Structure 1
Amino acid sequence: MSVCVGASPICPKAHSRAALHCPAVAYEKPLSFLFCLLISFFAAMLSPSSAGGRREVRIAVVGDGGSGKTTLIAAMVSESFPMSVPPVLPPTRLPHNLFPDSVPLTLIDTPSSLAKQGTRNEELKRADAVVLSYACNEPVSFERVSTYWLPELQKLEVKAPVIVVGCKLDLRDENQLVSLESLTTHIMQQFTEIVTCIECSAATLYQVPQVFYFAQKAVLHPVDPLFDYKRHALTDRCLRALRRIFVLCDHDMDGALNDEELNEFQVRCFNAPLQPSEIAKVKTIVEQKVPEGVNSVGLTFPGFIYVHNMFLKKGQTETLWAVLRKFGYDNHLKLQDDFLPVPSKQASDQSVELTDEAVEFLKSTFQLLDTDKDQYLRPDEVDKLFDTAPESPWNDTPYKDAVEKTDMGYTSLNGFLSQWALMTLLDPQRSLANLIYIGYNGNPAAALRVTRRRSVDRKKQTAERNVFQCYVFGCKHAGKSALLYSLLGRPFSNNYTPTTVEKYAANVIELKGVTRKTLILREIPEDGLLEFLSNQDCLAACDVAVFVYDSSNEYSWKKSRDLLEKVVRQGELTGYRTPCLLIAAKDDLTPFPRAVLDSVKVTQELEIKTPIHVSMKLGDSGNVYNKIINAAVHPHLSIPETEIARRKKQHYQFLHHTLIFSLVGAAMAIAGFTACRVRTVKKNTTTA
């Protein structure tokens, strides 16, 4: 079987959602000369990669019994009208070369009876697209589309696009002709999942292939990610993607695509060059419609958008998707995983950091964005940075308010780099993607690195990483949040807000005025501690655990000591033994005497540093952040030594010494035996 529908069939009996929301587009009329010219220039033969890498499209066909759905499938398969069909056809796979995208289709006929409703529902949930049929010669059948079938799909939470198909067009009374557009506009407005409405006839084979072409197209080249129906314009995410593509193609960064750059874009996307006369015609067409779309250099961004907007409004979604996928975008208009070679961690106690190359790129980016050279980025300058990303990654938790900013919301270079360090630690793939979105053109594989295992760091008694994560434990009112806010340079506030979800704070810390490390504080809410500790690997990513307590409050101290014991025990059970520090907060208040004595005793027993006294209210941090970094750099100095750990250590040392003594004894025995043999041989030789 070979059915060639073409790159984009324009069907007189089809009504698409693009036409519904773009009144200027009329499928009943031929395409304008100007747009045909654009199509011929830009929409060359699309490669299979424009299908987004899909290996199959699964289409479920549903509808009332007798509406023609089974006959429709049979006619598609046999290219002829079947005189009789079974109640339900088995799954049918169509060849991959049926349509230009070269992706095979599997057609699933579904039963209409209530007895087999469960089977039908399961197929609907698995479907990539749904073809919903009604009989053109039965008005009641069409009414059932909106009164039963579409509400049923919503009830089942079917997310697949829907193609509404009027079958048996040849049987409709010609005296009751109604345009498809007037018939279907209302239900398309009511049910946004409908992508296309089309009429066909299995008896005459009229538009039978087009039904399944539109179903495949709705999956491979979806409209929803590209077009905002409410605004009647390209979606914000689509505009951002096209802006990035434009910037990447604008090699000389002059704000316009000259003839050479435009031709490179054409070849990259469609494997077909443009002649100089063709480029001139394109620019003429754009200038007539969008005067600011062309300047003395070439095609500007508004002109670039105009061309792609017209592709979409004329139903050429596959052309726009061909461009997007050539630049790495998936159906959600995010970079595909294949474009994001994130290094994989081999163990839970490893982490991912930016390389020096990536950090230098970010520093130069900061300088370019800082147009007024005040060493800060305004919020609008940060927003501009992510104009070419799907969205700003820092507008939501945990990144929002996680770095140092001025009262005006300005971000310093340290805050900028800390934000990237935090995102790389928590979500390396998202960090790498955003590096690429904002213009990083180096080898993506060279932007991130996996650090050495923390367990190895502790054996070697030094850590080589540049970003350290510190877990902050403590009960309510202990002063945990004040510790985070102080790291961000925020003034102390007497207003108390309990922490209910994990919070982060990140900043750059200088050691001895030379070495710069990034410290990330992660506050663990008291109410979420049990759930946190239930995770076997909860301490794997922790470089230092600090336990904050109100030095004037007995309960706060006891709670902190209890948390310390639990974390230490967890570390011994899981093998993630973590450096620990005690922080006596609110040092401006009268201390609780027993807490002073007990805290010193506990630190001596565990062989860790004595408590660090701080008063964020007085601005006295006790150099706590540098001490946390030092504990992370030299982890062996602050790992608690419990009695169990000591016994294990002694047992290990005993076995080690025993092994050495055994080896030495064995070596001496062998040496003695060898010496005896030598003497015996000499004696026998002399006697002879």
Structure 2
Amino acid sequence: MLKVDGAAARRSVDMVVVGDASCGKTSLITTLVSAIFPESVPRVLQQVRVPPEETADGIALSITDTSSAQEDRAQTLKQVAQADVVLVVYSSAEEATFARVRSYWLPEITKVFKGSIIVVGNKSDLVTKSEEHAAELRGKMNPLLGDFRQVDACTECSAKLNINVSDVFQLAQQAVVYPIAPLFNTQTRELAPRFVGSLRRVFRIFDQDKDDMLSDAELIDFQETCFGARLQPTDIEDVKTMLEAEGADNVAAAGITFKGFLRIHQKFIERNRAETAWLVLRQFGFNDRLQLMVPRRALSLERNNRTRHKVAPFPGVVRDQSVELSKAAQAFLDDIFHQFDRDRDQALSSAELDEIFSICPGGMRPWTASRFATAFSQDHAGTTANNSDAATTTGGDEDPNELLTVDEALSAGAPPAALSYIDDFPFGTRTDANGNISLSGWRAQWHMITLLQPHLTLLFLYFLGFDSGKERALVLTRKRAVENACNDLQRHTVRAFVFGAQGVGKSSLLDALTGGGVAAADARTPSSYTFSSEYNLDEDARRKRSCRNVVGRVRSKSSTGGATTVGASGAPAPTRHFVLTEVAAEDDALEEALANDMVDCDLAIMMFDSTNPSSVDWLAGLQKRIPESVPLVFLATKVDLAEAERLLGETQGSGKGAAAVAAAAKAKARMTKEDMLAEDPAHISQAIEEATMLCASYSLPNPEPVALVLPKNRLRLGKLFELLLSAALRPDLARPVSEEKRAQQRRQRLIRSSLRISLVVSVLVGAGLLAHSFLGSTRKQSASESSQGTSLQASSAPAPRVPADDFRYDYDGYQTSSPATR
């Protein structure tokens, strides 16, 4: 469980003791400190401090004695206003002092103090203990508790005999550390609504099987997690027996119901055991005001990184990667859908969505979070986290256990940009005929939120009880540089920017993805937005709203015409969640879309009006600013006319080159504007021909015809989205190639060809030299072997005998042959 240990840890408690003179205020404090009743005491005791090591809970106590004199009234009330808890002391032996508690002390104190008050009857040793006295005491205290909601408890003690003295101050300390007022209404004897909502979140966290009950195993898990003790089977049976005796709907066959869970906590509170409820609440992030605090570690992506390198908490630094839901988070959200689909119609109605997000602060949803940020900051202005100044920073060395308020958590990520607008719910995803969100739409909506504003996904998964301590909530995709090198986009959520001049039909294309068609744009009115009556759109909000995002599930188109793309491994590729972002034609939105080399864009969809050639000129100017790494697809809208569709089909089927298309475009360009307006097909043909020529100049496929009228074109639009997704998944097929790049590619091809030829020639020459060298060495070896054989034969034959006189020496000393020979 994602626990928040010590969510409201307190180090000290300031107590102020007030009451009439001679009631024993000073004696009570002295007996606590020294354990000895003083025979004489000063008029007002100096402030007493009890170190934490001397208290049971390790909390330091500061006890302030006060004067009851009328002239010190202002000073006494000032001390009361600065206290954490006030003890009002009266004498149990003097009825008049108790009457003064009701008539004077409590009215005066409640004017300046809003904390807990403990009413203490001292000198109980002077009163006879009996059933009559106990009944009389209850008769006095119950009206007091009913009339003054700040009075948490009433008790008696004896400073002289040291009876219940330590219990009095322990009760006062617990009234601060474990206050009853936020949990229980002492007047109506009912649990506070905010406490019920807090327990609902705890109940749902431990309801692991999502059956709206706590089984025996889940109840044991709750006990071990919150209190470190294991329930025995007999203990569970005793609890169930007690609950069944108080109401049949507290227990069911499968376990304890939520109503029974509430009754368990109410029983503890009624027995002055409020610390039991607070131990549970604080372990799950609730502070003293029952406001849910968010630990910074719940918003961190570090646990989701597979590497050992530290990752920035939110995208913006890791711009080359996007964020997606983990399988565990997807399964968790699917379980929530099925749990709260009460009518089993495979869709979530508005009431069912309300129930899902009832455990979130203020009942907000991810698509309404931006509207709640300002409201929360105003409503909880006095609540601060441990270090609120660091809440807006990301990365660095922040304490992962630092607690943030909801407003700080909402602003902890990068501020949502215009292109990250997600408030167009439910029009941004698929719904059924009644406008209820389907399972497919529920999944798609969360995938889109994770892609555009991942910190919101982390925050709401924490609200809804996802255990990120056991499973990763989000994962990072492969780096885009790797995917570009492999020409294989393996992201499960793909994003496309939709560009086009005003009026070309961008919104209609977005509506077609969610199944709304052209009619959906007319249905979107301010009243259709959740909480729109409480939310006034300023200019910035309207600008963001004009840059819509929608999401839908799309199957990629295979090369064989099948339904899915087959990857390199031979396995069918899964369906993708396809996010379309409408980029308004205004300069601000365009600049944001084109920033950072469009690293957030997987595909640029260039839409033009086939009846308006100027819309093509607008795209031609934009084309020069789009990086060549981004794949492009041109769409020709408003081609419902048969002539326009026929002309486009002829252009695509005839295989006309760029020169032929340009010639046709120039011929049409000679027409006047009036002639074009008078003849729609000719006007359409000029826009299509100019777009086709623009595509040809960048080696892009010809424009695709689009007729955004549902339902008759639903099948064709489905194939269109398959085509668009395929272009994003295989980006090399749709990347623009400029003249400069083509020239560069030609040079590179020429260099590569030259290198190949040089390599082949070098190999052939080297092989020839090697063969020649080998043959030469072979010949030499053969000749050497022949000569060695002849010498060996000559040396083995007997030498002929020559007579001695056959030799003589000439005068030069040289041996010559015999005279006969010469």
**Please, what TM-score do these two structures have when normalized by structure 2?**
0.52
Match of 2:321 among 350, 364, 369: 350
- Specify whether residues 592 and 315 from structure 1 end up closer, same or farther in structure 2 by C-alpha distance, changes over 3 A only: farther
Match of 1:486 among 512, 517, 523: 512
Which residue of the partner structure matches residue 601 of structure 1?
693
Task: Measure how far apart 1:458 and its partner are.
Answer: 1.6
Alignment deviations for residues 642-677 of structure 1 (CA, whole Å, 9 cap, x no partner): 456567778988999999999999999xx9xxxxxx
**The residue matched to 2:700 in structure 1 has which SS?**
coil
- Specify whether residues 83 and 338 from structure 1 end up closer, same or farther in structure 2 by C-alpha distance, changes over 3 A only: farther
Say whether residues 1:544 and 2:603 are aligned partners. Answer: yes
- Code of the residue aligned with 1:352 in structure 2: it is V
Q: What pairs with 1:402-413 in structure 2 (closer than 5 Å)?
A: 402-413=428-439
Which residue of the partner structure matches residue 244 of structure 1?
204
Q: What pairs with 1:507-526 in structure 2 (closer than 5 Å)?
A: 507-511=552-556, 512-514=562-564, 515=573, 516-526=575-585
Match of 1:267 among 221, 224, 230: 224
**The residue matched to 1:51 in structure 2 has which SS?**
coil
Say whether residues 1:182 and 2:107 are aligned partners. Answer: yes
**Higher mean C-alpha deviation, range 594-603 or range 319-328:** 319-328
Which residue of the partner structure matches residue 323 of structure 1?
280
Which residue of the partner structure matches residue 634 of structure 2?
582
Which residue of the partner structure matches residue 264 of structure 2?
307
Q: Would you say the 8 A contact 1:399–1:419 is kept in 2?
A: no
**The residue matched to 2:518 in structure 1 has which SS?**
coil
- Specify whether residues 374 and 366 from structure 1 end up closer, same or farther in structure 2 by C-alpha distance, changes over 3 A only: same
- Code of the residue aligned with 2:277 in structure 1: it is L
- Code of the residue aligned with 2:203 in structure 1: it is R
Match of 2:728 among 608, 611, 632: 632
Q: How far apart, CA to CA, are the structure 2 residues paired with 1:225 and 1:521?
A: 47
- Specify whether residues 469 and 59 from structure 1 end up closer, same or farther in structure 2 by C-alpha distance, changes over 3 A only: farther
- Code of the residue aligned with 1:469 in structure 2: it is R
Q: How far apart, CA to CA, are the structure 2 residues paired with 1:474 and 1:460?
A: 30
Task: Measure how far apart 1:452 and its partner are.
Answer: 0.9
- Code of the residue aligned with 1:614 in structure 2: it is V
Alignment deviations for residues 560-617 of structure 1 (CA, whole Å, 9 cap, x no partner): 4434434x1xx47xxxx32222322223374455533332232223333332321213
**The residue matched to 1:234 in structure 2 has which SS?**
helix
- Code of the residue aligned with 2:516 in structure 1: it is R
**The residue matched to 2:621 in structure 1 has which SS?**
helix
Alignment deviations for residues 247-276 of structure 1 (CA, whole Å, 9 cap, x no partner): 24x89x583554x65454323311234567
- Code of the residue aligned with 2:204 in structure 1: it is R
- Specify whether residues 276 and 377 from structure 1 end up closer, same or farther in structure 2 by C-alpha distance, changes over 3 A only: closer
Q: Which runs of 5+ in 1 are unaligned?
A: 1-47, 62-74, 85-92, 108-130, 150-161, 189-193, 672-688
- Specify whether residues 598 and 283 from structure 1 end up closer, same or farther in structure 2 by C-alpha distance, changes over 3 A only: same
Q: How far apart, CA to CA, are the structure 2 residues paired with 1:612 and 1:96?
A: 76
Q: Would you say the 8 A contact 1:405–1:412 is kept in 2?
A: yes
- Code of the residue aligned with 1:400 in structure 2: it is F
Q: What pairs with 1:200-349 in structure 2 (closer than 5 Å)?
A: 217=177, 232-235=192-195, 237-248=197-208, 255=213, 257-258=215-216, 262-273=219-230, 282-283=239-240, 286=243, 292-294=249-251, 299-309=256-266, 318-326=275-283, 332-333=291-292, 336=295, 338=297, 341-343=303-305, 344=311, 347-349=318-320
Which residue of the partner structure matches residue 126 of structure 1?
none
- Specify whether residues 50 and 334 from structure 1 end up closer, same or farther in structure 2 by C-alpha distance, changes over 3 A only: closer
Alignment deviations for residues 408-440 of structure 1 (CA, whole Å, 9 cap, x no partner): 123333223212322332344544565677687
Which residue of the partner structure matches residue 143 of structure 2?
none
Q: Would you say the 8 A contact 1:50–1:322 is kept in 2?
A: no
Task: Measure how far apart 1:468 and its partner are.
Answer: 0.3
- Specify whether residues 145 and 199 from structure 1 end up closer, same or farther in structure 2 by C-alpha distance, changes over 3 A only: farther
Q: Would you say the 8 A contact 2:320–2:599 is kept in 1?
A: yes
Task: Measure how far apart 1:140 and its partner are.
Answer: 4.2
- Code of the residue aligned with 1:301 in structure 2: it is F
Task: Measure how far apart 1:492 and its partner are.
Answer: 1.8
**The residue matched to 1:508 in structure 2 has which SS?**
strand
Q: Would you say the 8 A contact 1:256–1:295 is kept in 2?
A: no
**The residue matched to 1:406 in structure 2 has which SS?**
coil
* Larger gyration radius, structure 1 or structure 2: 2
Q: How far apart, CA to CA, are the structure 2 residues paired with 1:662 and 1:503?
A: 56
Alignment deviations for residues 252-301 of structure 1 (CA, whole Å, 9 cap, x no partner): x583554x654543233112345677656655655565563345776432
Say whether residues 1:476 and 2:433 are aligned partners. Answer: no
**The residue matched to 2:471 in structure 1 has which SS?**
helix
Q: Over aligned residue pairs, what C-alpha RMSD do you find?
A: 5.9
Match of 1:506 among 546, 551, 554: 551
Say whether residues 1:614 and 2:706 are aligned partners. Answer: yes
Q: Would you say the 8 A contact 1:349–1:453 is kept in 2?
A: yes
**The residue matched to 1:526 in structure 2 has which SS?**
coil
Aligned residues: 543
Task: Measure how far apart 1:181 and its partner are.
Answer: 3.6
Which residue of the partner structure matches residue 805 of structure 2?
none
Task: Measure how far apart 1:398 and its partner are.
Answer: 3.0
- Code of the residue aligned with 2:579 in structure 1: it is I
- Code of the residue aligned with 1:417 in structure 2: it is R
**Higher mean C-alpha deviation, range 435-444 or range 388-397:** 435-444
Match of 1:450 among 476, 481, 498: 476
Q: How far apart, CA to CA, are the structure 1 residues paired with 2:12 and 2:740?
A: 59
Task: Measure how far apart 1:208 and its partner are.
Answer: 13
* Identical amino acids, percent of aligned pairs: 25
Q: Would you say the 8 A contact 2:341–2:352 is kept in 1?
A: yes
Q: How far apart, CA to CA, are the structure 1 residues paired with 2:601 and 2:322?
A: 10
Task: Measure how far apart 1:169 and its partner are.
Answer: 9.7
Q: Would you say the 8 A contact 2:52–2:59 is kept in 1?
A: yes
**The residue matched to 1:489 in structure 2 has which SS?**
coil
- Specify whether residues 355 and 395 from structure 1 end up closer, same or farther in structure 2 by C-alpha distance, changes over 3 A only: closer
**Please, what TM-score do these two structures have when normalized by structure 1?**
0.61
Task: Measure how far apart 1:471 and its partner are.
Answer: 1.6
- Specify whether residues 473 and 199 from structure 1 end up closer, same or farther in structure 2 by C-alpha distance, changes over 3 A only: farther
Q: Would you say the 8 A contact 2:88–2:118 is kept in 1?
A: no
- Code of the residue aligned with 1:596 in structure 2: it is I
- Code of the residue aligned with 1:518 in structure 2: it is H
- Specify whether residues 101 and 635 from structure 1 end up closer, same or farther in structure 2 by C-alpha distance, changes over 3 A only: farther
Q: How far apart, CA to CA, are the structure 1 residues paired with 2:6 and 2:462?
A: 23
Q: Would you say the 8 A contact 2:493–2:577 is kept in 1?
A: yes
Which residue of the partner structure matches residue 69 of structure 1?
none
**The residue matched to 1:405 in structure 2 has which SS?**
coil
- Code of the residue aligned with 2:505 in structure 1: it is G
- Code of the residue aligned with 1:603 in structure 2: it is C
**The residue matched to 1:584 in structure 2 has which SS?**
strand
Alignment deviations for residues 140-185 of structure 1 (CA, whole Å, 9 cap, x no partner): 4578899xx9xxxxxxxxxxxx856779999xx9899545543344
Q: Would you say the 8 A contact 2:298–2:462 is kept in 1?
A: no
Q: What pairs with 1:552-563 in structure 2 (closer than 5 Å)?
A: 552-563=611-622
Q: Would you say the 8 A contact 1:394–1:400 is kept in 2?
A: no
Q: How far apart, CA to CA, are the structure 2 residues paired with 1:297 and 1:417?
A: 29
Q: Would you say the 8 A contact 1:462–1:634 is kept in 2?
A: yes
Task: Measure how far apart 1:95 and its partner are.
Answer: 7.3
Q: Would you say the 8 A contact 2:496–2:601 is kept in 1?
A: yes
